[in-house]
A = this chain, B = another copy of it.
Amino acid sequence: MIKNSFFYDIEINDSDVDEIFHNIKEEYSSKKVGYYHLVEQDLSSVKEYAKECEWVKKIVIVGIGGSSLGTKAIDMLLRQTRNVTKEIYFLESVGPNALKAVLSNISFEDTLFIVISKSGTTIETISNFKYILKRFGVDLKEDNKHFCIVTEEDSNLDKFAKKMNLKRFFIPKNVGGRFSVFSSVGLLPLAILGYKVDDFLLGAKTLSERFFSFKYDNLIKKSLFLAKNSKKYPINVLFSYSSTFKGFNEWYVQLWGESLGKIDKRGNRVGLTPVGLVGSIDQHSFLQLLTEGPLDKTVTFIKVNDFKNDVKIPKMSLPFLESTDYVNGYSFNELINSQCDATMESVIKNGINVDLIEIDDFSEKNIGYLIFYYELLTSLTAICLNIDAYNQPGVEEGKIILREKFKI
């Protein structure tokens, strides 16, 4: 269902592989890192609530970063291949124009607002939430079915929600925001939209078992290669062939950048810079830099074998434009995948280390596998780099300075 092929030699000692495998198994068993165990969760309350939400026509996610990126990524990937009738909007930042634009699209009566914040006091999220309350003149006691809260148990947001009698779902304490898409953070809105949420977990579980029980060592080798060469190839490009991967690329950029940009145990600044590209669009943009610019990048191509969509390029010859007829009669699916293959060949020829992830089709199971693949790769690479993948100390200072600015 998902195949990963490498077009470069990874020379890795078996003993290194064993060491990394040992370390990640310890992390897995310690229960300090919770996302590994989301595949085992009971989804009945999520699915029950989703059923109760038949009245909902529009969902507004009030959340930023890990609270929005995963849901957006998956919905963008799958929506066009499904019969999804409910719309979803994201209120992330506090740009006043975007705020106005989103809210002008909805009417309160058929809208569910899902307010998501792990800490419970994210300034953007609570400010937007307050604005919604005022804008629609909400009386939370009467209107409480329009709100649902996803947060850590006992956070201040949870206490507020409990007092106001709002529906609550929890993010496990040991699951970080950027690893939380398969907690209620992602699965709740995705269930309401009608996606098969069990299948996401099934896909993730398939890889989890393959890895932890059968030591699928491709992933360990890849992470060791990326970590060992982090100075030679500090930039990791994800080149996804379909514009519906835009949200997935953004999710990847957060996961990779925020987990792997750290001061290591020896006090050195380390990290790998993620770049997300979309094919074939970025063949007309970033590709030139890949093929002729500095050799400081690795590239992973993602290709979907079967889009389940047989729209074809018409067998039509237009006067003076006959030179484009060589693709006539082929499907757009074939064209975009051939573009992926051709670009990949040319990038490899230019001396760049390339690997390819092939996905059979856009099933929930495959997406679950793909998401878990990147989460696991991130954890492994952090172990190889000797850093903590799960904290983000470097963003605290800005928050303190912000607070100072508003002190009278």
Contacts and interface: CB of A to CB of B under 8 A. Distances in A.
Given A242-B95, A273-B293, A293-B262, A323 B121 contact: yes
Nearest to A127: B313
Contacts of A244: 95, 97-98
A13 interface: no
Contact of A316 (B66, B133, B279, B336): B133
A397 B261 CA distance: 34
A1 to B, nearest CB: 19
Given A235-B273, A270-B294, A320-B160, A253 B286 contact: yes
Given A160-B319, A319-B163, A339-B94, A403 B289 contact: no
Interface stretch (A43-51, A324-332, A369-377): A324-332
Interface residues of A, number: 117
Given A326-B403, A394-B291, A96 B336 contact: yes
A287 interface: yes
Contacts of A100: 80, 309, 311
Contacts of A12: none
Contact of A69 (B92, B285, B320): B285
6 contacts: A81-B97, A93-B281, A94-B335, A126-B324, A156-B320, A269-B295
